[in-house]
């Protein structure tokens, strides 16, 4: 790439790319390339001026070398990244705003008054027609008030006031639409699928292949707990599919042969062989956008309350206008009431506040599926943590494989990885990664794999029953035994590690020791949540009492429960809610899904099981639990902002009405101040809540 350095200071470069025109796609490609580099901390790309601002660490020469080596053609960018970019959307609305301001200034100074008046009358017809239609439906709502204010100004030949009212209403509509679409777009982008590989069925074998290789007509296998990556028709198998992310249905739906399934839904029970119909992600994205825009359940109660209050206040504003005219017979004072209403600001500022908070959360890699959950987060007094992959690190590692038969540890690890790679869980991933690091390549050794939630995996290898899972599953449920003469070795298995037990034909074959270290920030996050107003912090885990006790002591939780099943977690959450508590549940696995559904706010870790992410109300990044504290701060800040907006809107507009009735403020001035205050409050509501 050819470029010129326009300005630089240590750690920051401002460059101009030497090309005639930069498209949105090219700008996004360059942006993706820059942010993908390890030593670049942040970047901005401006397609209109073909410029880029780059903040970096380390060597300036290395950055220059990277820029010189950049090429649009050679840079591979995920199609989903380009599809979900909001660059074009932002530019569109910036142009709309600038165009509206420039046109108003141009008409005011360049167009003769008679022509300007005719144009104002044409614009006013739209608002009056909208008000008349609302009235015809038997409703007295905001459009009626807008139409009355503009209509009365027109009748009084006060074109200046009518024009100002329409201009400010138009600006408000653009800002509201822009903020809404941007927030919805960002939210939908975050919810887009993140699947890299799928199981392709070919010649009666399952092959793990990159998702890019799949074409319409191919058959893929979707195991229990996995996300369905494509729209398609079930060719074989039967499963219960959770479609909550697509349709909002709370209960899973049975899918069998010839059933149609949608990308982004999750196999909750069973297994499907799917004939792919459509590989593009656009349809999934569009469905999510539609769901977000249409779903009433996503709105917070305060947001809905503001909308309903805005409409309920309209008749009182009209009544006040008539009453002032009857008492004073002064049209000017009556108009002062009409020009000021509480509804515009209430109806505009509240949704913008909520959507801006969702957008801000997204900047911290937090996906919130609606304002309802931010409100619940602010009100919550109880938080329940799953342990594995949540309070502990999301990437546990295998530290030892202890053999209890004549097979070598590496051979036993290879068998374990062959079973575990079919199912998404942090412990399973540790086994698969350990096998990869040792280059233990394997063919599919087993028959059909059965996953028992919160317990383990069962299958048949070379005609022998093989199981892998927890101590409870292997020794108590399956009645497996330690081989004769190996009890002493079994007793010496290190207690500080979590263990997976592999058994073949009812005999223990191997113990896989896995280190699941506590997150460095866990204790700090628990303390911060208590300081933020959470009264009770609970940890629940399927691990033994000894392990749970040790972790609970280090983290500082108020209560902990060990050896719990998925239904136990959900039951605890429901009991807490029944006792009047607002409950947050945080987890990452399939076994956390029932509790995530039961909680007021279900929070999933982004690299956890697909079903947990889909069912959850909020998804946070896997890197840092501090994001939970950030979400709490954003939620608390949002509630404070909404309450402040109520006070400011009511106080300021009541003052304007009083000034108009007293004859201190003219209708034109009242209208200007009212609409300006609405605009200012809306712009303030768009600001970030956190510094």
- Record the tokens describing residue 599, joined without a space: 């909680």
Please give the residue that has the higher pLDDT: either 299 or 107.
107
Per-residue confidence (pLDDT) for residue 590, from 0 to 100: 66
Residue partners of 446: CB distance under 8 A and separation at least 6: 418, 419, 459, 460, 461, 466
Per-residue confidence (pLDDT) for residue 246, from 0 to 100: 56
Express as a percent the part of the chain with pLDDT over 70: 84
**Does the pLDDT value for residue 175 go beyond 60?**
yes
Per-residue confidence (pLDDT) for residue 303, from 0 to 100: 61
Give which of 645, 652, 635 is closest to 683, Cα–Cα.
Answer: 645
**Does the pLDDT value for residue 605 go beyond 60?**
yes
Residue partners of 684: CB distance under 8 A and separation at least 6: none
Mean pLDDT of 626-650: 90
Name the DSSP class of 14: E
Mean pLDDT of 616-637: 87
Which residues of 10-120 form beta strands (DSSP E)?
Answer: 12-17, 40-46, 51-56
Categorize the per-residue pLDDT at 425 as very low, low, confident or very high, splitting at 50, 70 and 90. Answer: low
Q: Comparing 8-22, 103-117, 431-445, 458-472, which segment has the lowest mean pLDDT?
A: 431-445
What are the structural domains, with CATH classification, of the chain? 3-77 (3.30.70.100), 92-188+298-346+638-681 (no CATH), 197-280 (2.70.150.10), 366-392+519-622 (3.40.50.1000), 397-515 (3.40.1110.10)
Per-residue confidence (pLDDT) for residue 26, from 0 to 100: 93
- The reply to whether the predicted model has a pTM over 0.75 is no
Per-residue confidence (pLDDT) for residue 295, from 0 to 100: 44
Helix (H) or strand (E) holding 508: strand 507-515
CA dihedral of 600, 601, 602, 606, whole degrees rounded to 10: 170
**Does the pLDDT value for residue 657 go beyond 90?**
no
Mean pLDDT of 227-251: 75
CA angle 606, 600, 555 (to 5 degrees): 60
Give which of 223, 326, 84, 172 is closest to 609, Cα–Cα.
Answer: 223
**Does the pLDDT value for residue 656 go beyond 80?**
yes
Per-residue confidence (pLDDT) for residue 248, from 0 to 100: 46
Mean pLDDT of 31-50: 90
* Residue 356 near residue 179, CB atoms below 8 Å: yes
What would the pLDDT profile of 484-540 be if each residue is shown by its tens digit?
A: 999 999 988 886 677 889 999 999 999 999 877 888 899 999 999 999 999 999 999
Give which of 389, 620, 391 is closest to 522, Cα–Cα.
Answer: 391
For 239-272, letters b (16+ CB in 10 Å) and e give bebbbbbbeeeeebeebeeebebbbbbbbbebbb
**Distance (Å, whole) CA 641 – CA 458:** 53
* Residue 347 near residue 303, CB atoms below 8 Å: no
Name the DSSP class of 519: P
Q: What's the chain's average pLDDT?
A: 82
For 510-546, letters b (16+ CB in 10 Å) and e give bbbbbbbeebeebbebbebbbeeebeebbbbbbbbee
Mean pLDDT of 459-464: 83
Helix (H) or strand (E) holding 61: helix 60-68
What would the pLDDT profile of 190-238 be if each residue is shown by its tens digit?
A: 555 556 678 888 887 888 888 778 888 899 998 887 888 888 899 988 8
Categorize the per-residue pLDDT at 20 as very low, low, confident or very high, splitting at 50, 70 and 90. Answer: confident
- 110 by Cβ neighbours in 10 Å (0-12 / 13-18 / 19+) ranks as exposed
Q: Comparing 217-231, 334-348, 486-500, 582-596, which segment has the lowest mean pLDDT?
A: 334-348
């Amino acid at each position: 790439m050819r470029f010129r350095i326009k300005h630089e200071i240590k750690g920051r470069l401002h460059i101009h790319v030497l090309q005639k025109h930069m498209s949105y796609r090219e700008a996004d490609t360059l942006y993706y390339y820059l942010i993908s580099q390890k030593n670049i901390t942040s970047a901005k790309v401006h397609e209109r001026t073909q410029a880029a601002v780059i903040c970096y660490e380390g060597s300036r020469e290395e950055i220059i070398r990277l820029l010189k080596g950049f090429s649009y053609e050679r840079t591979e960018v995920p199609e989903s990244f380009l599809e979900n970019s909001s660059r074009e959307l932002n530019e569109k609305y910036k142009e709309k705003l600038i165009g509206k301001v420039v046109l108003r200034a141009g008409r005011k100074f360049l167009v003769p008054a008679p022509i300007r008046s005719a144009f104002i009358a044409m614009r006013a017809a739209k608002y009056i027609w909208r008000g008349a239609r609302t009235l015809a439906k038997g409703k007295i709502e905001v459009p009626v008030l807008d139409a009355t204010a503009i209509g009365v100004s027109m009748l009084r030949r006060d074109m200046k006031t009518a024009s100002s009212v329409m201009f400010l209403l138009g600006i408000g509509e653009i800002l509201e639409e822009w903020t809404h679409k941007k927030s919805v777009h960002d939210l939908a982008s975050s919810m887009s699928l993140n699947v890299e590989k799928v199981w392709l069925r070919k010649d009666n074998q399952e092959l793990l292949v990159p998702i890019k290789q799949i074409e319409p007509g191919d058959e893929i296998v979707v195991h229990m707990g996995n996300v369905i990556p494509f729209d398609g028709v079930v060719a074989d198998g039967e499963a219960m599919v959770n479609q909550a992310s697509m349709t909002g249905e709370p209960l899973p739906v049975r899918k069998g042969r010839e059933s149609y399934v949608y990308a982004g839904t999750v196999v909750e029970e069973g297994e499907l062989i799917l004939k792919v119909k459509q590989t593009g992600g656009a349809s999934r994205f569009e469905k999510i956008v539609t769901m977000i825009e249409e779903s009433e359940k996503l709105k917070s109660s305060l947001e809905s309350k503001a909308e309903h209050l805005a409409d309920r206040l309209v008749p009182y504003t009209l009544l006040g206008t008539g009453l002032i005219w009857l008492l004073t017979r002064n049209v000017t004072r009556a108009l002062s009431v009409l020009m000021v209403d509480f509804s515009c600001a209430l109806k505009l500022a509240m949704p913008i506040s909520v959507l801006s908070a969702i957008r801000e959360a997204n900047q911290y890699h937090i996906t919130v599926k609606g304002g309802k959950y931010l409100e619940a987060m602010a009100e919550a007094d109880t938080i329940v943590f799953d342990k594995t992959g949540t309070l502990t690190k999301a990437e546990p590692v295998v530290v030892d494989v202890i053999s209890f038969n004549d097979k070598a540890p590496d051979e036993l690890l290879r068998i374990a990885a062959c079973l575990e790679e079919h199912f998404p869980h942090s412990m399973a991933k540790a086994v698969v990664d350990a096998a990869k690091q040792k280059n233990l390549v394997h063919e599919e050794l087993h028959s059909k794999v059965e996953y028992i939630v919160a317990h383990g995996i069962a299958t048949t290898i070379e005609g022998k029953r093989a199981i892998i899972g927890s101590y409870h599953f292997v020794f108590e449920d399956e009645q497996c035994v330690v081989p004769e003469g190996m009890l002493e070795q079994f007793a010496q298995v290190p207690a500080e590690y979590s263990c997976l037990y592999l058994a073949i034909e009812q005999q223990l074959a191997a113990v896989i020791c896995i280190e699941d270290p506590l997150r460095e920030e866990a204790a700090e996050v628990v303390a911060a949540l208590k300081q933020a107003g959470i009264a009770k912090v609970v940890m629940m885990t399927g691990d033994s009492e000894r392990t749970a006790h040790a972790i609970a002591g280090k983290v500082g939780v108020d209560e902990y429960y060990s050896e719990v099943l998925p239904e136990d977690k959900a039951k605890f959450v429901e009991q807490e809610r029944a006792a009047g508590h607002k409950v947050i549940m945080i987890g990452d696995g399939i076994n956390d899904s029932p509790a995530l559904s039961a909680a007021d706010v279900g929070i999933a870790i982004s690299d956890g099981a697909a079903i947990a992410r889909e069912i959850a109300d909020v998804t946070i990044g896997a890197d840092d639990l501090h994001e939970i504290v950030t979400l709490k701060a954003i939620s608390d800040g949002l509630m404070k902002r909404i309450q402040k907006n109520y006070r400011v809107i009511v106080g300021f507009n009541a003052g304007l009405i009083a000034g108009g009735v007293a004859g201190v403020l003219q209708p034109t001035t009242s209208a200007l101040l009212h609409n300006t205050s609405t605009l200012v409050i809306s712009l303030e509501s768009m600001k970030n809540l956190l510094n």
